[in-house]
Amino acid sequence: MPDIASLRKTLEKHGQSHLLRFWDELDEPGRAVLTEQIAAIDFDQLDQWIAQYVRKRPLARPSGDIQPPAVVPAKPTDPAVLAEHQAASQRGEELLRAGKVAAFVVAGGQGTRLGYEGPKGCLEATPVAHKPLFRVFAEQVLAASRRTGAAIPWYIMTSQANDVATRAFFRQNRYFGLKPEDVFFLVQGTMPAIGLDGKLLLAEKGSLALSPDGHGGCLAAMKKSGALADMAARGIELISYFQVDNPLVRCLDPLFLGLHSLRGSEMSAKALPKRDPMERLGNFCLIDGKVIVIEYSDMPDDLARATTADGRLRFSSGSIAIHILSRSFVERLTAGRGAALPFHRADKVVPCVDESGKLLRSDKPNAVKLEMFVFDAMPLAGRTVILQTQRNEEFSPIKNATGEDSLPSSLHDQIRRSAAWLERAGVTVPRDADGQVAAAIEISPLFADSAEALAAKVDPKKVITGGQNLYLGE
């Protein structure tokens, strides 16, 4: 740990001396915390970031010839693509059976829009059994592990703010039936909030304002935490990446895994046909032969609205943050000083102490937060695959407290998907005059984790009455 004299010198050199303004008021443990936080910062690097992202506003409009990328359809009609789908599903299942696949969830976000106290993965998010999100995914991992007879490790990325609570939640719930040695927690990195004048902010007299470095921080975190080395030791080749807020996600999809493998992809992504040109999803684009994701807010308006001759959106594929990453790709990206993903700037309100030590909350953005996004690794991959999927089947995130992408909308979508699976299995589902499902239905992944698995198991003569709470569990 550096002594106070060298700390002062570094801070002076970089114009950040104010961070020690309250040093004399801090007790020994308080000084140790602040020293550690400051010592963790590479100030030469920080100066570059301030020059690049704070003093200037990075150009949002990407340059180059922007084209739509090739996308593998969700429901192919072409016999060749259909055959590839079948081969891929088989390959994916083989990879799972051979123990070459790990699940990876990013759960380090702050969930500010939802406003839920505690890690988002602890949110009760299913319509009948009220399972927390972590259980929803754990049951999928367990189901795949039982089906294939293979150990499937699950890596969970937390942040400094929620790591302790997340681990405690897993312990309290006995790892939801998973073997504790197959559950690996890793903590993502932090970034200091930077005032609009380039000065770092103090959240308290003895503590910097820090926040997680974005889901793109998972690459460096995998390396730093030893997760990558652990994967290598277990013979893991593919990392199945998903977010903590989407209970409809298929955590381990054989088709997606198999396509990635058969096509020699380094990083693959699932895409949805966008509902409308301005839907708040990243846009898959192709620039100079590389797939890149352009955030909805950065997508030039004319391109977002452009249509093809038959009237469809030209850039129709939206990113839903479901990926397969080859372990070797992550190793390559993190071989040097860390994964060199660019930062995205967000101007935010960050409570901080003023010169007198009073805690202030500005009514307009007072700081820049810098985050990395995992999709920025796509153009660094040698090969990529984009697989289209169906919204009803796989995407209903819980982002907001109410309205679109909220818990109520996700519960509705979960029931709708369960009903569709049951109907495909020949079961009659009660519906009201508007065609809405008139029962609360939940299917545990341990009962069936796909429509096909359900059809093989459920009795088509099963009776579901209107208003019933139906839970199909183990």
How many chain residues touch ligand UTP (CB under 6 A)?
22
Distance, in Å, from the CA atom of 270 to the CA atom of 257, rounded to the nearest integer, reads 11
With CB under 6 A as the contact rule, the residue among 274, 327, 399, 417 that binds ligand UTP is: 399
Q: Does 245 bind ligand UTP (CB under 6 A)?
A: yes
Distance, in Å, from the CA atom of 243 to the CA atom of 375, rounded to the nearest integer, reads 12
134 within 8 A of 121, measured Cβ to Cβ: yes
Q: Does 111 bind ligand UTP (CB under 6 A)?
A: yes
Nearer to ligand UTP, 139 or 245 (CB): 245
Q: Does 107 bind ligand UTP (CB under 6 A)?
A: yes
Q: Does 106 bind ligand UTP (CB under 6 A)?
A: yes
With CB under 6 A as the contact rule, the residue among 109, 192, 206, 445 that binds ligand UTP is: 109
In 108-162, beta strands by DSSP E: 154-158
Distance, in Å, from the CA atom of 473 to the CA atom of 443, rounded to the nearest integer, reads 6
Nearer to ligand UTP, 45 or 112 (CB): 112
Which of the residues 55 through 74 are near ligand UTP (CB under 6 A)?
A: none
Of 6-14, 105-113, 268-276, 384-392, the segment contacting ligand UTP by CB under 6 A is 105-113
Terminal-residue alpha carbon distance, the chain? 53
Which of the residues 114 through 173 are near ligand UTP (CB under 6 A)?
A: 120, 157, 159
Q: Does 350 bind ligand UTP (CB under 6 A)?
A: no
Residues 6+ apart with CB under 8 A from 355: 18, 21
With CB under 6 A as the contact rule, the residue among 206, 212, 258, 277 that binds ligand UTP is: 212
Distance, in Å, from the CA atom of 246 to the CA atom of 406, rounded to the nearest integer, reads 10
Nearer to ligand UTP, 101 or 107 (CB): 107
Question: Is residue 312 classed exposed, middle or buried when 0-12, 13-18 and 19+ CB atoms within 10 A define those classes?
Answer: exposed
β-pairing verdict for 282-287 and 352-353:
unpaired
With CB under 6 A as the contact rule, the residue among 100, 131, 135, 215 that binds ligand UTP is: 215
Of 112-120, 231-239, 324-332, 421-429, the segment contacting ligand UTP by CB under 6 A is 112-120
Distance, in Å, from the CA atom of 317 to the CA atom of 320, rounded to the nearest integer, reads 10
Nearer to ligand UTP, 159 or 418 (CB): 159
95 within 8 A of 109, measured Cβ to Cβ: no
Q: Does 323 bind ligand UTP (CB under 6 A)?
A: no
- Both tokens assigned to 79: 């016999």
- Both tokens assigned to 322: 């479901």
- Positions in the binding site for ligand UTP (CB under 6 A): 106-113, 120, 157, 159, 188, 212-215, 217, 243-245, 371, 399
